[in-house]
A and B are shown apart, each in its own frame.
Chain A
Amino acid sequence: MPKKWLLLILLAVLLLSLSVMTYQSNRLHLLPLKSLHAVLDRLYDAKTSLKDSLSAPFRRMLIRESENIRLREELAQMLQKEQAYHEAIQENKRLRALLALKEHDPRHVTAARVIGRGTDFWSKTVVLDKGLSDGIQKDMIAITERGIAGKISDVFNSYSHLLLINDINFSAAARLQESRIEGILSGTGSRRCMLKYIPHEDEVKEGEVLITSGLDTLFPQGIPLGYVLKVNKKEAGFFQDIEVIPFVEDTHLEIVVIITKG
């Protein structure tokens, strides 16, 4: 091997040793030699920085995606909770109203929850979760804070059937609150009821409130039934044809208070 190469290799070995020692050294007077280390550090930093700047957008996208999924789940949970709170508030309102009814009405028997609709498509009945064991008997009255809901048509040991105010078989002695005109309120099987047996000479105003008269000895006196929607005098024969909208809507019925019959 040529002498020149040998010297070069020797020089390289010596430089390598010196570099290694400089790298490891902490002596202050050797700090200028650390510039090599600093350059290497900067190169490493530049490489890391480049790598980070390239991968950062994708990493951010992944983070955002996972955050988005998490937030959606949280939102769904929050909505469910909000709905539950809203439901609890509504139920609280209804129960407060029922409690007021119970406190003001000495004929109170029990409160019952609607647990199902009647199986017969043509009849307007609902199933209540209370029955004979809770003190409910046939022909007892179901009311809400709005007024009469119906009457008990069948009673079983643990449940009962409630005949709603708009069922075709329902009828109650009624009185118009302002004019004190009396008649019979009958269900039609639809949303509306009919106020029957009101002579033509009696003046009935639309919007007038209808209450129970108590003359049938079934419904207690003074409980709201509905309001007059329409008065038709032309088509009827001896009596007026008066359409009444009950205050209690069968589709919104959830809890009723059962009271003894009048």
Chain B
Amino acid sequence: MGLKTLDKISAALQSRPLELEQLRKEGKKVVGWLAYNIPEEIIYALGLIPIRVGQGGDGRLVEVGARHISTKNCVFVRQALGQFAEKTDPYIQQLDLVAIDATCIQLYRLEELINFYFGYKTVVLGVPRNFATKEGHEYFRKEVEFFTKKLEEFAGVTLEQSKLEEAIDIYDGIREAIKTLYKYQSLDNAPLSWREVSSVINAGYNLDRAHYLELLKELIVEAEAKLSEPSRRREVEARIFLSGSLIPPGDTKLVDIIEQLGGRIVGDDLWSGLNFFLNLEIKEPTPYGVADAYLDRVPHGSLPYLDLKSDGRLANLKHQLQEFGADGIIYHTLRYCDAFTFKAGETKEVLGKLPFLEIHTEYSGSDFEAIRTRVEAFIEMIKSKKEIAELV
């Protein structure tokens, strides 16, 4: 039986668009944001409502977006543009401002486009390419300072240290809770699945963060109660780790295929998944402190390798693969998502002998069977290797 708190989170999500509408009537403002380095803590501390936007998996919206850009631009960006163009998404309808960071250049261009074509009010946060250097940090500190100033003007209030401290506490709590849930979903007697954790993460981007943290705490208590139940014997399973381009809400194709074929997803290093919550330690509750913490965490794939041997993304990937006991990695790349397609070959070589499958796809069903064959063969490969290992 599923966890009851998951239903509660689902219900909270259902009523959220109406709740937002009401809050806006009361004078609250909603900030839609996208990418990897937007410091949500600052948005929240200013009394604004942060909502992460952008969905995947809808070929029709991709076509709508492609009316304004090339069909050779990232498929996620095309769909996001389609969403902003159509404005039928209940969250997009509630946006007063859109904040996008320049971690991924194509997403940064999205900001220009929605402003140019559809008149959305936008703000951009610059992200340095040389993120590990002193100069990179200085640049990002100034960017976050400027970003804060812009938001202060928009909110009509000044950022208070106590409010920022409060926001940081909430976000720290969320990060810890998500890490705990990831750990639980990978266990033999997992009380919930990777897919469920992923839904919980996506729900959280839309809910009120303080309320969300309460729900997460409740979910963990319920999950821990299940952990004490006797572990059931699992058959030889293929424990799959997902890497590569983001898998946003709505894009279920690959996950569906893996699960239909009996594979079990046990972890990821996606920027739409676990990576977002890792290694973010705000040592000083100021915009500068927030800037440093964001820049020092696991780097996004769009940022260059500054030193291949000590690259934080690869080091984190290796660590997570071990942590979650992965048997193989499915490296998922979206069509024209340059950052991750460029790094696919290198990532495979760096990981050495671990079974590695690259899946290149987009938001249409035309490649469903082709992906199915690849994933099925990959799972056969892993299972046969494990069966032989068990016999020896």
Chains A and B form a bound pair = no
